[in-house]
Chains A and B, each alone.
Chain A
Amino acid sequence: MKLLQLLPEAPPAHALALALNAGICFGLVARSALEPLQGKTVSLEASDLGTRVRVAYDGNRFKAYAGSAPTDLTIRSSASGFLALALRREDPDTLFFTRRLVMTGDTDLGLVVKNVLDAIDWSRLPLPRF
């Protein structure tokens, strides 16, 4: 078993939820765009690390999800795949065609997540660029 699998899932899930909530706070993500996610749970799984991060959206904010029910949407890739997506270096369809990303569960939710992230205009972030 890999070391990461022994670590609790909660801290990265809290971090992701915090980052997503910050995105809403700064106006980078419109709440209206997230409406289809209300009451839904999403799992991001890094298959190479054997680890996952699960979050839930209550219509207002994201929080870590630790329930036993399967998530509504699961996106599975490698750690480098997620990093490339986060840095906008890769297109998710490109990763999917080459089997480096798979999405199971509610496909429409997956499209919402992908398209909401794509629509974030980072140039509007009121912070120094890094």
Chain B
Amino acid sequence: MELVCPAGSLPALKAAVDNGADWVYLGLRDETNARNFAGLNFDQAALAAGLAYAHARHRKVLLALNTYPQAATWARWTQAVDLAAARGVDAIIVADLGLLDYAHRRHPQLELHLSVQGSATSHEAINFYHERFGVRRAVLPRVLSLAQVENVVRQTPVEIEVFGFGGLCVMVEGRCALSAYACGDSPNTMGACSPGRAVRWEETPAGLESRLNGVLIDRYAPGERAAYPTLCKGRFEAEGATYYAIEEPASLNTIELLPEFLRIGVRAVKIEGRQRSPAYVAQVTRVWRQAIDAARPGSGRLAPRAGWIAELDRHAEGSQHTLGAFSRPWK
């Protein structure tokens, strides 16, 4: 099983490679990817250096082109596909049907991975992408139970990648309109959920307040754990109570499910966090490399080694972890 790790900068890519990532995924400095934050991501020089570093160590590089082009900006996305093919990127992660079609026709040798943003959860949908565009791998949205993942794997020739660790979205990946509701810009087209320009932190007598375009997302008492300023993880007044009315801040951590992932034939696990620093990438990648190497197919739940969970929890949003939908009894 392969380990797919995030990089928002060249040092993060090196940290991922040095600590045992099989694949590193990254984005360009524009809205063609879903972590379009100021100063983050790769310009052409950093991309060339990153590819050279990874390839010299026999690791692979993925370019995330996982946002949805608009009619007026279509060329920016196709140019990014052309760049990936010309520079020797090992595969691209794509969500948009038109862009998949473009990449498949123009660069038939370029490996295509279906992004989580494509929201394909059934083998029928995934097989369609395979038959039409030759998609080789699909990243499953974080909405399926383990039994449902197994069902998908069994009925598709497409390699299946699941999320292993990191920030969680509410269950409408690729279709979420919450940030757009508050800010006007859609993360699915502009590439940023809760863009920095709309976020303000303020220390008030009542506590640390986070606002998104003026909308109060949360107010933290002194010492209370904080979270990203996203609408889905805010506390709101609903029917007389103030609480996490949509989702609690928590990170996904599926390390104990690794033997099950191996048994059912999951091809790769992905670590979220291109917006994080090289320190996060190094520490999380190191733990996951050890865990994958220690896991044996179908041997029940993996007993985490001392320190693994504490090390991962340190980095978790809200500093707590969850198995998310994987643990649900849904079939």
Contact = CB atoms under 8 A, between A and B. Distances in A.
A104 B201 contact: yes
A83 interface: no
A102 B10 CA distance: 25
B317 interface: yes
A104 B318 CA distance: 20
Contact of B277 (A33, A92, A102): A92
Given A89-B279, A97-B225, A108-B196, A115 B208 contact: no
Interface stretch (B35-43, B168-176, B178-186): B35-43
B226 A97 contact: yes
Interface string A93-130: 11011110011100111111111101111110000000
A101 B73 CA distance: 38
A84 to B, nearest CB: 8
B9 A91 contact: no
Contacts, number: 101
A80 to B, nearest CB: 14
A90 interface: yes
A108 B195 CA distance: 8
Contact of A120 (B11, B223, B314): B11
Given A112-B39, A115-B40, A93 B276 contact: yes
A98 B318 CA distance: 8
Contact of A94 (B37, B40, B202, B314): B314
Given A91-B279, A118-B11, A103 B39 contact: no
Main secondary structure of the interface of A (DSSP, over half): helix
A98 to B, nearest CB: 6
A12 interface: no
Interface residues of B, number: 41
A115 B37 contact: yes
A103 B277 contact: no
Most chain-A CB neighbours within 10 Å: which of B195, B199, B220?
A: B199
Contacts of B197: 107-108
Interface string A21-46: 00000000000010010000000000
Interface centre among A92, A103, A114, A118 (most CB of B within 10 A): A118
Given A96-B226, A115-B38, A102 B203 contact: yes
Contacts of A123: 14
Given A97-B319, A98-B225, A114 B201 contact: no
A99 B10 contact: no
Given A98-B319, A99-B226, A121-B10, A114 B203 contact: no
Interface of A: 33, 36, 88-94, 96-99, 102-104, 107-116, 118-123
A-B pairs, top 3 by smallest CB distance, nearest first, are: A115-B39, A108-B196, A91-B280
Given A103-B201, A107-B196, 10 more contacts: A94-B279, A96-B226, A104-B200, A104-B202, A107-B197, A107-B199, A109-B38, A111-B37, A111-B38, A111-B40
26 contacts: A91-B277, A91-B279, A93-B277, A93-B280, A93-B315, A94-B314, A97-B316, A99-B208, A99-B226, A102-B208, A103-B201, A104-B201, A104-B203, A107-B200, A108-B195, A112-B38, A114-B277, A115-B8, A115-B40, A118-B11, A118-B12, A118-B277, A119-B11, A120-B11, A121-B11, A121-B14
